[in-house]
Amino acid sequence: MIYRSLLLISIIIVSSCKDEVIIPKPKAFLSLKYPKPSYNKIDNELPFSFDLNNLVKIENIVEKKDNFDVKLNYDLINASIYLNYIKIENNFDELISQNNFNLNNHAKVAIKASKQDFSDENRKVYGTLYELIGPVASPSQFYVSDSIDNFLAGTLFFKIKPNYDSLLPAIYYAKNDIIRLIETIKWDN
């Protein structure tokens, strides 16, 4: 009985030893496909109008005197863009300073930061889009103004833990919408 058991164990051990070649799995990348955006002009009680992706919903608008807070909700990418419109009252430098302060708080944890300037003399639109690369809460921030009466700041936030590599397709999708907003904004005054 012992010999049979040893023979059986030996056969199992010998037959289980094969020359298998272990091939490492290739690196995989998340492939997210988003629908091509379609835009409509948003022209409501706000003191400005702009083109907005049809997949984005205006979740709420809060008016405070001549200032407005607007939340644009992206269900598709689990993100929101928060817009803050402020009527300039001889405080343009202060508004830029506050915007830079908010940006620097996020930039502290960024690996890299880049900026893209916008200028359109005909529409009196001047602004800057900042892109922060790394584990930041807000990978895209921008402001746009006419430098005299109107100032609009925007911040993109994701409703999930920031993992820049995984979020990159969604960041680019929202960034294109932000650029479209900046390029189409028109002040009502």
In the 8-state DSSP scheme, what is residue 138?
A: -
User: CA distances (Å), 41 to each of 57, 79, 134, 184, in order?
Assistant: 13, 21, 33, 9
Residue with tokens 């298998």: 20
- pLDDT tens digit sequence for 132-162: 988 888 899 999 999 999 999 999 999 887 6
In the prediction, which pLDDT does 39 show? 96
- Give the Cβ contact number of residue 186 at 10 Å: 13
pLDDT, tens digit (0-9, with 9 covering 90-100), for 50-84:
999 999 999 889 998 879 999 999 998 999 999 99
Specify the CATH number of the domain 41-187: 3.40.1000
Instruction: Compute φ and ψ for 102, nearest 5 degrees.
Output: -60, -40
Token readout for 32 is: 């997210």
pLDDT band at 31 (very low <50, low <70, confident <90, very high): low
Q: How large is the C-alpha radius of gyration of the chain?
A: 26
